[in-house]
Amino acid sequence: MLGLKVNFKKIVGIIKIIRPSNVLISGLTISVAVLIFGGEGFDILRLALMAGIVGVLIDAGANVINDFFDVEIDRINKPHRPIPSGLVSKRFALFIYFVCTILGLLVASFLNKMAFMIVFFSSVAIFLYSYRLKRIPLVGNFTVAFITGLAFIFAGSIVGNFKDALFPFLFAFMINFGREIIKDIEDIEGDLKSGVRTFPIVRGVNWAVAVSVSVFLILIFATMIPYFVGIYNHLYFLIVSVVNVGLIFVIFSLIRDRSKRNLNRLSNILKFEMLVGLSAIYFGSL
Site for a second copy contains 109 (CB under 8 A) = yes
Site for a second copy contains 161 (CB under 8 A) = no
Binding mask 19-58 for a second copy (x = CB under 8 A): ----------------------------------------
User: Which residues in 55-74 contact a second copy (CB under 8 A)?
Assistant: 69
Q: Which residues are CB-neighbours of 259 under 8 A, at least 6 positions away?
A: none
C-beta of residue 112 within 8 angstroms of C-beta of residue 159: no
Q: Which stretch binds a second copy (CB under 8 A): 5-13, 132-140, 171-179, 273-281?
A: 132-140
Task: Output the smallest distance, CB 119 to a second copy, in A.
Answer: 12
Q: Which stretch binds a second copy (CB under 8 A): 56-64, 123-131, 161-169, 242-250?
A: 123-131
Please choose, from the candidates 210, 213, 216, 185, the residue with its C-alpha nearest in 3D space to the C-alpha of residue 198.
185
Distance CA 54, CA 32 (A): 13
Give the DSSP per-residue string, the chain: -------HHHHHHHHHHH-HHHHHHHHHHHHHHHHHHHTT-TTHHHHHHHHHHHHHHHHHHHHHHHHHHHHHHHHHH-TTSTTTTTSS-HHHHHHHHHHHHHHHHHHHTTS-HHHHHHHHHHHHHHHHHHHTGGGSTTHHHHHHHHHHHHHHHHHHHHTT--TTTHHHHHHHHHHHHHHHHHHHHHTHHHHHHTT---HHHHH-HHHHHHHHHHHHHHHHHHHHHHHHTTSS-HHHHHHHHHHHHHHHHHHHHHHH---HHHHHHHHHHHHHHHHHHHHHHHHHT-
Site for a second copy contains 123 (CB under 8 A) = yes
| Residue closer to a second copy, measured from CB, 129 or 236 | 129
Q: Total binding residues for a second copy by CB under 8 A?
A: 23
Q: Which stretch binds a second copy (CB under 8 A): 20-28, 81-89, 109-117, 240-248?
A: 109-117
Q: Which stretch binds a second copy (CB under 8 A): 9-17, 19-27, 113-121, 224-232?
A: 113-121
Site for a second copy contains 102 (CB under 8 A) = yes
Task: Output the smallest distance, CB 101 to a second copy, in A.
Answer: 10
Among 127, 154, 199, 232, binds a second copy (CB under 8 A): 127
Task: Output the smallest distance, CB 95 to a second copy, in A.
Answer: 6
Among 2, 6, 229, 286, binds a second copy (CB under 8 A): 2
Task: Output the smallest distance, CB 106 to a second copy, in A.
Answer: 7
Q: Which stretch binds a second copy (CB under 8 A): 12-20, 24-32, 95-103, 223-231?
A: 95-103
Q: How many residues does the chain have?
A: 286
Burial class (CB in 10 A: 0-12, 13-18, 19+), 210: middle
Among 10, 135, 203, 265, binds a second copy (CB under 8 A): 135
User: Which residues in 167-226 contact a second copy (CB under 8 A)?
Assistant: none
Where on the chain is the footprint of a second copy (CB under 8 A)?
Answer: 2-4, 69, 91, 94-95, 98, 102, 105-106, 109, 116-117, 120, 123-124, 127, 131-133, 135-136
